[in-house]
């Protein structure tokens, strides 16, 4: 089925790889029936990124100052002329030839993600452990199995992304947030195994800072859409520890310590906050509702 497609390529100082990526995207789309445009959003690069994109004959939009990976994607989505959006990074890590496959699978789901679980996946060692821990946390909080939480290669509908814009951050956690938002809103998300290559040029990711931001964004996103997943376990831990401390104080010391009472009351208060947040969330559920295919 023919689609009108906009491929959004966010870029910041990616002169080493963007030319090849744009050529590969064009080659991948050339043999498909789809009408497509390529939009490069240059996030205030200081190298030849914008010049190379302009010479490639694609649509180029330049930020006057650096606004972040997520904001670059938002800009590309805003100015897109198509309702079907493909996002792909400009560093050469993602295989462009799988884009037609992702597009074909969009019929029937709200988003298709290229999951970096193929036979050839080159993820730096220092990023593997934090990535695994964050993925395990996200799987628990989202109550679902997520093969790849923050892949930069994905396909979705523009109208769905626009509806979620106020939830989507400016940084690298954009991809994580839109994944969780789509899943928690009840929309269908499908994953296609892909390879992941060594990047061209220098990575812009700060392992410690960006991991911390990603962790906070996962928790924040789940609190927004399913707050009891966060508040209920905390309340149970506080209540159980407080009750155990209370029992110990009564048996051993024949009195009741303030700490025991504070822990028990803290557990009750955290649960009450979670229930209130869940009530507010259910009343505002339509704000993040994504169209079911």
HEC sequence for 49-76? HHHHHHHCCCEEEECCCCCCHHHHHHHH
Q: Tell whether 79 and 133 lie within a shared domain.
A: yes
Is 221 found in the same domain as 128?
yes
Are residues 237 and 217 part of one domain?
Answer: no
Do 61 and 133 fall within a single domain? yes
Structural domain that includes position 232: 228-288
Last residue of a domain, one of 225, 259, 279: 225
pLDDT tens across the length of the chain (293 residues): 789 999 999 999 999 999 999 999 999 999 899 999 999 999 999 999 999 999 999 999 999 999 999 999 999 999 999 999 999 999 999 999 999 999 999 988 999 999 999 888 877 666 666 667 777 777 776 777 889 988 999 999 999 999 889 888 888 889 988 988 888 766 689 999 999 998 887 776 666 776 777 677 677 767 776 788 888 899 999 999 999 988 888 888 777 778 888 999 999 999 999 888 877 766 555 555 555 44
Q: How many domains does the chain have?
A: 2
72 and 135 inside one domain: yes
Q: How far apart are CA 109 and CA 103, in angstroms?
A: 11
Q: Which of 225, 251, 270 is the last residue of a domain?
A: 225
CB-CB contact of 171 with 206 (8 Å): no
Q: Are 97 and 34 within 8 A, CB to CB?
A: no
Cβ pair 3, 34 in contact under 8 A: yes
The whole model's pTM is what? 0.79
Residue 293 inside a domain? The answer is: no
d(CA 275, CA 228): 7
Specify burial of residue 198 (Cβ count, 10 A radius: 0-12, 13-18, 19+).
exposed
């Amino acid at each position: 089925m023919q689609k009108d497609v906009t491929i959004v390529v966010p870029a910041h100082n990616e002169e080493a790889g963007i030319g090849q990526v744009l050529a590969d995207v064009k080659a991948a789309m050339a043999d498909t029936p789809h009408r497509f445009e390529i939009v490069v959003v240059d996030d205030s690069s200081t190298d030849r990124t914008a010049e190379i994109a302009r010479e490639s004959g694609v649509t180029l939009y330049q930020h006057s100052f650096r606004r972040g990976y997520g904001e670059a994607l938002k800009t590309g989505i805003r100015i897109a002329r198509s309702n079907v959006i493909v996002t792909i990074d400009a560093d050469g890590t993602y295989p462009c030839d799988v884009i037609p496959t992702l597009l074909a699978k969009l019929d029937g789901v709200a988003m298709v993600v290229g999951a970096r679980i193929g036979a050839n996946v080159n993820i730096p060692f220092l990023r593997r452990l934090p990535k695994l821990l964050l993925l395990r946390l996200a799987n628990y909080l989202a109550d679902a199995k997520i093969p790849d939480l923050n892949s930069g290669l994905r396909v979705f509908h523009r109208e769905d992304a626009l509806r979620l814009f106020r939830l989507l951050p400016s940084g690298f956690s954009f991809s994580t947030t839109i994944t969780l938002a789509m899943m928690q809103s009840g929309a269908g998300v499908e994953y296609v195994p892909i390879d992941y290559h060594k990047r061209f040029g220098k990575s812009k990711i700060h392992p410690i800072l960006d991991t911390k931001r990603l962790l906070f964004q996962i928790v924040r996103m789940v609190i927004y859409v399913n707050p009891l997943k966060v508040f209920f376990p905390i309340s149970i831990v506080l209540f159980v520890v407080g009750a155990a401390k209370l029992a110990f104080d009564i048996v051993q010391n024949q009195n009741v310590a303030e700490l025991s009472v504070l822990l028990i009351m803290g557990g009750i208060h955290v649960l009450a906050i979670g229930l209130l947040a869940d009530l507010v969330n259910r009343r505002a559920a339509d704000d993040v509702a994504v169209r079911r295919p």
